Structure 1
């Protein structure tokens, strides 16, 4: 009888110990899960262990379906230029005038050097600015304006206009205007779309609001990091009366525009020797620079 009682007590004690261990393990597990599912701002989601997928979130709102574009009926840039020739231009009239233009400015790495060359040779050019860069470097934007150059609108963040909504397109234009206005005192009448891309709906809006969409017919291809000789050849081989020349005065990380800076004096001298007058885009097109 005593042996049975002792066995029972030993079993009871062992069971209690096992139950206690299990309870502690379960508690630890619950605490661990609670930590994993803590709010996002309380954990390091860059840690591979804490991936976004493992964090409990509210379900994302359902996005409205985007209107599909019939690619077959979509007009090419060439067709858009013909259809909206008074709004969408790539060159000026057939006169001995050429407009030098510089995109993606202001950029402290390259823009000041370009301005120095233009000042030395007494040339006025057109600078198509990005609104975000104007906010980051207002002193450079002011220098462009103060030295007599014309400022045009090149969007706020440099998106492909083909890939954004109409409301986003308008916002890109308006936000850049808000950045430019305190510096220049005017709202540019000229818009250069990033990558030269634009939709028909955007062109219609631009026409209704008295803007000119200004692309180019001579491309320096300097964004490829070409050297002086290559940039010079690309420009001079394509120039003709009324040409609009595309160059860059700024770029992204790792951009190399030394070829443009070194070629610019030679471009100016060569074109002047050929009898060309170097003017701004509004002068070339015979329009006002502001709305």
Structure 2
């Protein structure tokens, strides 16, 4: 009963928020996107009601398959930013992500804080991960998300030189803290806006409880759909930002290094 009341309250709040545009959603609040619009994306266009679900730190054998099942049930495509060290351990799950039509991105090999890394280490992390993704799926990716979102201007320029696009987020669910389904749902509902890139996790440290992530998706996706939001992948959101439409041919891959 309490769960039903919570869902109804969330739906009411979302309906009220759909008539406003959050000032915090403006790209000016993301200086790297403003300075490097051809290399960085933290949020999409605010004119339409397109949003992107993104998942970091996978794959794994516990939470990733569960999240994939829920996305499949609701017919939603998402973007998964993969760690090379976990792709090596779970190539079957990596391949499933691709086979089910989701987009993939690069999330480094060992998940270092790149604010403490030099350019050579960053390049190794990215290129080695891309090679592992290719071995598992036969595909590469040009989409990159830095662990902790830590990137400086020189690193952004290096990403561009390597042929990558840097992807941030505009809504952090903080699901890695294990707050539970209701808190995750509330965090998204309270902050959702057109063009939102939503950060979630589909794997983590073995002590982390990410069960609330999958459970929240089962409520969030129908709620957001009922309020006119459409789910897109990061490649699609990039196309909308730069070309105003989604092409059937997504230039998603890049050459191996």
Give the Cα separation in 2 of the matches to 1:114 and 1:238.
Answer: 22
Residue in 1 that maps onto 2:213: 260
1:93/1:285 contact within 8 Å kept: no
Give the Cα separation in 2 of the matches to 1:144 and 1:108.
Answer: 12
State the Cα deviation string for residues 94-118 of structure 1 (Å, max 9, x = none).
2211110000010112111101100
1:83 equivalent among 35, 53, 73: 35
Residue in 1 that maps onto 2:253: 290
1:214 equivalent among 164, 167, 189: 167
Q: Which has the higher contact order (CA 8 A, sep 6+)?
A: 2
Structure 2: give runs of 5+ residues left out of the alignment: 1-28, 240-249
2:57/2:201 contact within 8 Å kept: yes
Residue in 1 that maps onto 2:74: 121
- Number of aligned residue pairs: 215
Residue in 2 that maps onto 1:131: 84
1:153/1:191 contact within 8 Å kept: yes
2:181/2:213 contact within 8 Å kept: yes
CA deviation after TM superposition for structure 1 residue 78, in Å: 4.3
Whether 1:173 aligns to 2:126 is yes
Give the Cα separation in 1 of the matches to 2:108 and 2:131.
Answer: 11
Mapping for residues 189-204 of structure 1, pairs under 5 Å = 189-204=142-157
Structure 1: give runs of 5+ residues left out of the alignment: 1-76
Tell me the TM-score normalised to structure 2 length: 0.81
Whether 1:92 aligns to 2:38 is no
1:146 equivalent among 67, 84, 99: 99
Give the Cα separation in 2 of the matches to 1:244 and 1:202.
Answer: 21
CA deviation after TM superposition for structure 1 residue 239, in Å: 1.1
Residue in 1 that maps onto 2:225: 272
